[in-house]
Amino acid sequence: MVSNLLAEADLAIGRDLFFNTGFFAVLVILTTLILANILRRKIPFMRRSMMPTAVIGGLLLMLIRAVLEACGVKMFGAQDDNALFLITYHLLPVGFIALGLRDKQSHEGDEHGAADAKIIQTNPVRTGAMIVSGYMMQAVVGIGFSLFLAVFFSQLNPGSGIILPLGFGQGPGQATNGGILFQESGMANGRAFGIAIASLGFLWASIGGLVLLNRIAKRRGLNLKDKIKTSGDVSSSLVEEADEIPLSESIDKFTIQACLIGFIYILTMLLCMGLEWGLSYLGAMGKSVADVFWGFNFCFGIALAMLFKLIMNRWRKRRWMNRKYVNNYMLNRISGFSFDVMIIASLASLELSALGQLWIPLLVITTVGGFATVFYTRAVCNRLYPGYKDEAFVTMYGMLTGTLSNGIILLRELDPEFKTPAALDQVFGSATALIFGIPILILLPFSVSAPGVYYVFGAVAVYLVFLFWVMFGRFGRLARIFKRKGKSGADGAPRSE
């Protein structure tokens, strides 16, 4: 009888742990993702809207949680918010580390055949400056309106408008981290505010992108059909390339990819801990900067991944390591899984009732920011990408309001075979954008205070002018070096005459 009681107690503990941990939350998210995919395939409006399945799933799970909480039921138990937040927080750097480990050949296949286009590709420095200038423009608009609206809404932090480029341009993960920073500084429901901005950004990327696509198609005489794409064949060369470790040996190849990502993520967390320890000697300012580093640990993750990849390539050249361990195909699948689950978890964690009076400034800031992104992106792309301005515009717009995948989805409708360099621009430009984007990470902690936000607003405006100079002015030898590299990469394959 005693053993039976112990067994029943163990079962009760196991049941409670199952429903009150992140594991159950992941299972619910995966189930919701399947349901969202069915809805997107079967409902014509959702399919034509080009809204990512993960966004549909996130909004669906958010509504389900809201209905259950209205009935007094916590969907994921006592740790409801923490489970979703931890999934969002940890999967974001995991996805970026997987991208950073990929071999550069993943961008040189036939799918991104920019070499077939008789168009000169814009050099990566200008494209990187263009990407970050879009963030800076959104920051100017967001901070400007949050300063004005804070006079009428006491719950709004005057500097919270800087979350606009985080939510629109960087996605829900970064918007959540930025919102938490403001919430810790005294802004009630700052985290919900950040997630809501990212959610509305996805709507601008999908619905707004569809409207823009139709306008471009009408002007160019194109017929955008509602096509159901079928998946292509997965050849063995994608999963087992030359000199790679076998697909299945004493350890599975997929397991190796997961181990490499886990190892680099541990190094990332140790690096953040070391920076926090070093910055602790600077007092309160050092703590604020350290909090930003923890929130944007994905930047350190992708940097360490690229460094680790460089080291492994050097080892192979010196014959210290004979076989190749990373596999682009599997790393793409890991990053795609991480981002899909992360997007659903972040959107599902939004509590509509928590925003209160912040709904009005939220709608004002995102509406003005959305229209400003449309006009700004169109004006700059017309001058920066004269040979393929429409393709560059929809790609850049999709990325500056949603994610890079949103931009690629829009681009596929205008350029399904990637004959223009628009897709490659985003790939190579994103690398330099990481460098140009460092100032916004430095300025973020100073925007939470009333006097500091005015200095941040001025610094962002000045930096935006500098980025204009980089895009359209003469910016010296650095641009010429990147330009030569960009041309050699674009012209390396024979052109079809």
Predicted confidence (pLDDT) per residue in 232-245, tens digit = 444 444 566 655 65
Q: What are phi and psi of 103, to 5 degrees?
A: -70, 145
Tokens of 460: 């962002």
- Give the whole-angstrom CA distance, residue 437 versus residue 131: 9
Tens digits of per-residue pLDDT, 411-433?
777 777 667 777 767 766 776 77
| Stronger pLDDT, 424 or 156, i.e. the higher one | 156
Backbone angles phi and psi of 248, in degrees to 5: -145, 115
pLDDT at site 121: 57
pLDDT at 13: 54
Q: What is the mean pLDDT of residues 132-141?
A: 91
Q: Does residue 118 have a pLDDT over 50?
A: no
Handedness of CA 315, 316, 320, 325 (dihedral sign): positive
User: pLDDT grade, residue 495 (50/70/90)?
Assistant: very low
Residue 124 confidence (pLDDT) above 90? no
pLDDT category, 296, cuts 50, 70, 90?
low
- pLDDT tens for each residue of 261-275: 999 999 999 998 898
Confidence check: pLDDT of 231 > 60: no
Confidence (pLDDT) at 342: 81
Which residues pair with residue 244 across a beta bridge?
324
pLDDT digits (tens, 9 = 90+) for 303-316: 888 888 888 888 88
At residue 479, φ and ψ (nearest 5 deg) are -65, -40
Q: Would you call 449 exposed, middle or buried from its count of C-beta atoms within 10 A (0-12, 13-18, 19+)? A: middle
What is this structure's pTM? Answer: 0.66
Please state, rounded to an integer, the average pLDDT across all residues of the chain.
Answer: 76
Q: Quick count: other Cβ atoms within 10 Å of Cβ 62? A: 20
Mean pLDDT of 335-341: 83
What's residue 372's pLDDT?
95
- Cβ atoms within 10 Å, residue 454: 15
User: How does residue 49 score in pLDDT terms, banded at 50, 70 and 90?
Assistant: low
